[in-house]
Structure 1
Amino acid sequence: MNSTEIYQTKRNIFTYADKLTKGLPKPRKKFYSDILFGMSKSQSTLLSNIARSLEEDIDLIYTIKRLSRNGFESDDLNQVHQNYLHTVKTAIPDDPLIIVDESDIIKPYAEKMEHLSLVRDGSKNVIEKGYTTINFSMATPKTKHPIPLYNHLYSSREELFQSQNFEIAKGFNTVHSFLGGKKATFVMDRGYDSNAMFQYVHNIGHFFVTRLMDTRYLLHRNRRIKVPDLAKRRKGKINFRTEIQGKEYNLKVSHIKVELPVLKGTPLNMIVVYGYGEKPMKLLTNHAVKSKEDVLRILKGYITRWRIEELFRVQKEEFHLEKTRTMTLSSMRILYTIMNCIIGHYSLSIEKNTCHTQVVLARARPSNALAKIKFYLYRFIRGVSKILSYDTAGIKYFHRIEQRSSQLSLW
């Protein structure tokens, strides 16, 4: 392995860590830098694997204890998140696409982890012990890779927990403040088909594209009609061929002007999509529809929602999130937040497509050619880890050592 590639990769990570920890005390800077570097090198959120990756000249157990001890404090995590948002702010387009969804961290065999609650395991559709996560991620304009903007891990057994809607509202408020006046389109699945959600997004002045449940009623020509019955009135005049999660679909698309009873007087559109599943897919949006291009733009925005499913897979398969073992929820939140900061940094690197990006992608050495791949995040993560696997010094030499004055103090 070329030593220059190792140095450039380490320097890139340390420079990024320096931006994330701006304004923090030096011990906390070192802690977060160690977590960021160790996680990038080991592709793991396990403290033991992170500690091994640091290549420190002491017994491994002492490194693990130091990281674990520092993980008890999470008061500065909000500052780290604000610094992270500042690093991605220049990548925000004029009309960003914000994908909203929730996921889970399943810990079926855990007994001592703090505030374990019962959550639904989406992959098996069963109730298990674990935590819930709320995720707001922006799709990059060119490559459509996810940049996490607000990713919060919580438990319903926490003392200050109020409700799931309250946790979701915190995410909307954070992203709304971050956008600074820019209008965004929030893309949501059927779990967010609720009157409160539609009203909230409308009141803060943003657009939404939400998949509707079949139990929903809409107003069409002043008549209250159930969504499936209304969808039958449109058979799809617009042909659209697309790929969703690696599978090709020939879709037929139409739209209908509708209203919501809770937003009466606000013009909305229901997009009806045939060809994806046995039943037509129904989308509700407050975007104006004046042409075929507007309909397809809304549909493409919703199709991009599948990128957040890839984000969840990256978290669990590439960083082994569900194997994380910590005794406190604050430690879990630190690891979860830093992992998402790494993913956002990598997505931005893929979007910029620099020479270093190409080097990292080439070092992953997978079987498929780059020309066949549309989602590069898996390969980029493995490429960084592959390069750093040849490192034997860790990141300790990048930390600035303060030189104390040789002059004696009289006080």
Structure 2
Amino acid sequence: MRSVIFQSKREIVKFSNQLTKGLSKPVAKFILDMVYGVAKGASPILSDISRSLGEEVPLSATIKRLSRNAASFNDFIKLDQNYLDLVQSQVEDDMLVMVDNSDITKPYGEQFEGLARVHDGSKGGTEKGYLTTNITIASPKTKHPIPIYSHLFSAEETDFVSANVETYKGLNRVKRLFNNKRYTVVMDRGYDANDIITFLSTEETDFIMRLTDKRWIKRKGKAYKVPELAQRHKGKIAFDSQIKGKNYHLKISHLKVTLPSFPKQSFYMVIVYGYGKKPMKLLTNKTISSKAAVLQIVKGYITRWRIEELFRVQKQEYGLEKVRTLTLNSIRLIHRLITYLLGHHAMRIEAAPLLNEIIYQRARCLRENVKFQLYRYIRGLTAILKDDLVGVRHYKHIEHRRNPGQLRLAI
């Protein structure tokens, strides 16, 4: 058992060391404390993180130290670049890049910095909280979401412009990460806007986007509302798929269209029957010349639900919405570390070492045949680290000066 604890802890320490390359030693030690504390305690609350560290000082002293360092942390750019250096090994040509916003609601919060009204995705309506822009890739083998951009923001910030601008920042990072490799951006209907399409077209980026029923679309020179045009074309291609754990028998059609605001551009509309009461309508600027190409569009969009699972993992396994730090900077750091820790887990699952099987066994899941392993991995890792009594203090190298140059007074 000790060897399993050691190996699990060593992976967390190694990940933290890679995250903090080039940062000062005090900051690196602080990030190690936070990453390990979150992994062990499965909580964003500073008191829970502090207990997980098991330091030989009063708990209140550890909480104050973590709170102070989180509020003053300003090395986000370097932290993000170090994380992207880790992710670079997962980037391949012609990958899916999934984009979505999420929310962190604080309905009873009064003192949190920068609280604004946000759309509550789980309950509907609006609530006090923060928005997050998230971009992930699907890991090459297991299709687990690996975050490549994650930013928490508030409409109350003085430099806030719009949610779209935050999305553009993330997409620019994607372009730099992929360099000359191809990729396809996959978006839900919340991104069905001319501004978004203009940005993607200007950047010559392939995309798959779910259409809203409000959009007008043109077919052979005649304008239709999206639902009307969809009803005119019944599915001819049969496709069986599993979406969010349920099996579906789908019927698919596709047709070449244009948009009134983009008359010189050609798009394809893909209509999918069988997923819900209404057909699912997708828009893409990718060329469709075969049945295989149509199915690739549909499969690409279905893969998008993985980013929604990432949000559920953040909130269910790490309790992200329970965060209690009051400063926006602290909340932003905790959100970023949890997201990047999930990226580490997804990459470990992709590697599939023997240690993973031991971690899965400790999770004590009722189902063995699980395709989405993040829940199981986190629960198993937390169970293993719960048995660790010494924390990570032995991994922090403390330098002792050989010649401190102490001033001495002659007596």
Instruction: Give the shorter-chain TM-score range.
Output: over 0.9
Per-residue CA shift, 1:275-332, capped at 9, x if unaligned?
Answer: 1111111000011111111101110010011111111110100000111001100000
Segments ≥4 residues shifted beyond 4 Å: 407-410
8 A Cα contact 1:183 1:205, kept in partner: no
Per-residue CA shift, 1:339-396, capped at 9, x if unaligned?
Answer: 0110000001111111122221122121111xx1110000000111011010000001
8 A Cα contact 1:100 1:187, kept in partner: yes
Post-superposition offset of 1:263: 2.7
Tell me the equivalent position of 2:84.
85
8 A Cα contact 1:314 1:378, kept in partner: yes
Within 5 Å, which residues of 2 pair with 1:282-293? 282-293=281-292
Tell me the equivalent position of 2:381.
384
Matched, 1:180 2:147: no
Tell me the equivalent position of 1:58.
57
Matched, 1:167 2:150: no
Matched, 1:243 2:242: yes
Say which is worse superposed, 309-318 or 119-128, in terms of deviation.
Answer: 119-128
Code of the residue aligned with 2:170 in structure 1: it is G
Q: Could you say what secondary structure the match of 1:335 adopts? A: helix
Within 5 Å, which residues of 2 pair with 1:270-309? 270-309=269-308
Structure 2: where are the runs of 5+ without partners? none
8 A Cα contact 1:212 1:283, kept in partner: yes
Matched, 1:231 2:230: yes
Q: TM-score, normalised by structure 1?
A: 0.97
Post-superposition offset of 1:403: 2.9
Say which is worse superposed, 385-394 or 159-168, in terms of deviation.
Answer: 159-168
Post-superposition offset of 1:407: 6.9
Post-superposition offset of 1:35: 0.3
Post-superposition offset of 1:134: 0.8
Distance (whole Å) between structure 2 residues aligned to residue 148 and residue 73 of structure 1: 24
Tell me the equivalent position of 1:395.
392
Q: TM-score, normalised by structure 2?
A: 0.97
Q: Could you say what secondary structure the match of 2:72 adopts? A: coil
Post-superposition offset of 1:408: 4.2
Tell me the equivalent position of 1:197.
196
Tell me the equivalent position of 1:365.
364
Distance (whole Å) between structure 2 residues aligned to residue 397 and residue 264 of structure 1: 64
Per-residue CA shift, 1:67-124, capped at 9, x if unaligned?
Answer: 0000112310221111001101010111121111111111011111101111121111
Post-superposition offset of 1:225: 2.1
Tell me the equivalent position of 1:320.
319
Distance (whole Å) between structure 1 residues aligned to residue 31 and residue 262 of structure 2: 45
Code of the residue aligned with 1:401 in structure 2: it is I
Code of the residue aligned with 2:232 in structure 1: it is R
Code of the residue aligned with 2:283 in structure 1: it is L
Q: Could you say what secondary structure the match of 1:242 adopts? A: strand
Q: Could you say what secondary structure the match of 1:257 adopts? A: strand
Post-superposition offset of 1:404: 1.3
Code of the residue aligned with 1:318 in structure 2: it is E
For the aligned residue pairs, the C-alpha RMSD in angstroms reads 1.4
Q: How many residues align?
A: 408
8 A Cα contact 1:199 1:262, kept in partner: no
Distance (whole Å) between structure 1 residues aligned to residue 355 and residue 237 of structure 2: 42
Within 5 Å, which residues of 2 pair with 1:213-224? 213-224=212-223
Matched, 1:41 2:16: no
- Aligned counterpart for 2:371 among listed residues 357, 369, 374: 374
Distance (whole Å) between structure 2 residues aligned to residue 319 and residue 139 of structure 1: 21
Distance (whole Å) between structure 2 residues aligned to residue 53 and residue 77 of structure 1: 24
Structure 1: where are the runs of 5+ without partners? none
Post-superposition offset of 1:260: 2.0
